[in-house]
């Protein structure tokens, strides 16, 4: 079974440029997460989707960040314009959220390492 | 406030020696607990998880962890460390609710000496 796929793996851009990251979750997983991991820190949630609906975007800096999950499968996270402080690893995770509720296990992709110069 | 504390930023263990990585959490509800491992340039791989039941859980690669509610801890252990275990380890807590985002600690970097 394929895991969570992310691309690109690495991206170097100059500040004020736009950048986009792509994520394809594990087949059948209806919940998708974008996390940001700063150097020396644990991941922190940016946005969570259930199917195509963003159900938690409270930590997403909406002035420059946007995300979409059309058709409820793969997702794109965009930054425009990028700032120096956006340098981090952007991780995508997915899980299956059933009707019965209860905790589910999140599986992570390899991440995209963004460097803003 | 909900939080996870991993008190040790960096630990060095001799190959073949035992390992214990500490994790303490602060969570208002019944916590669901996870340990993930991250090798350089890689994503997070799930080692083990605790949802309910037996408080000693077994994971992959010979790891185990014990949930101690009275101490708000979920320490990770391995009886004999291999050089390939060198990586960064993250403890995380989530709620008993599907789709809840995880709260991670800052991680512990494990080095293995020969």
For residue B2, the model assigns a pLDDT of: 84
Report the chain A residue with the minimal C-alpha distance to residue B38.
A110
Flag if B106 and A40 touch (Cβ within 8 Å): yes
Q: pLDDT tens digits, residue range B22-63? A: 999 998 777 889 999 999 878 899 999 998 888 999 999 999
Confidence grade of residue B99 (pLDDT, cut at 50, 70, 90): low
For residue B51, the model assigns a pLDDT of: 86
Distance from CA of B81 to the nearest CA of A (A): 23
Which of B32, B41, B104 is closest, CB to CB, to A103? B32
Which of B46, B95, B107 is closest, CB to CB, to A105? B46
Residues in A closer than 8 angstroms to B98, CB to CB, are 31, 95, 97-98, 101-104
Residues in B closer than 8 angstroms to A95, CB to CB, are 98-99
What residues contact A60, with CB distance under 8 A and at least 6 apart? A46, A47, A67
B89 close to A (CB below 8 A):
no
Contact of B91 with B4, CB cutoff 8 Å? yes
Distance from CA of A53 to the nearest CA of B (A): 12
For residue A54, the model assigns a pLDDT of: 92
**3-class state of residue B59 by DSSP:** coil
What residues contact A58, with CB distance under 8 A and at least 6 apart? none
């Amino acid at each position: 079974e394929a895991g969570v796929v992310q691309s690109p793996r690495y991206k170097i851009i100059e500040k004020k440029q736009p950048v986009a990251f792509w994520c394809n979750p594990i087949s059948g997983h209806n919940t998708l997460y974008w996390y940001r991991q700063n150097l020396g820190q644990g991941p922190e949630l940016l946005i969570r989707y259930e199917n195509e609906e963003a159900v938690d975007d409270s930590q997403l800096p909406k002035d420059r960040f946007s995300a979409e999950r059309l058709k409820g499968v793969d997702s794109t996270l965009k930054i425009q314009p990028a700032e120096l402080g956006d340098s981090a690893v952007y991780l995508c995770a997915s899980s299956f959220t059933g009707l019965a509720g209860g905790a589910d296990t999140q599986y992570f992709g390899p991440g995209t390492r963004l460097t803003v110069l | 406030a909900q939080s996870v504390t991993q008190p040790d930023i960096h630990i060095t263990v001799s190959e073949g020696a035992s390992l214990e990585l500490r994790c303490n959490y602060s969570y208002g509800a019944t916590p669901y607990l996870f340990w993930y491992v991250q090798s350089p340039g890689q994503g997070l791989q799930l080692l083990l998880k605790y949802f309910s039941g037996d408080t000693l859980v077994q994971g992959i690669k010979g790891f185990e962890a014990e949930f101690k509610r009275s101490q708000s801890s979920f320490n990770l252990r391995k009886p004999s460390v291999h050089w390939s275990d060198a990586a960064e380890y993250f403890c995380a807590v989530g709620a008993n609710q599907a789709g809840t985002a995880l709260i991670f600690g800052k991680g512990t970097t494990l080095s293995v000496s020969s």
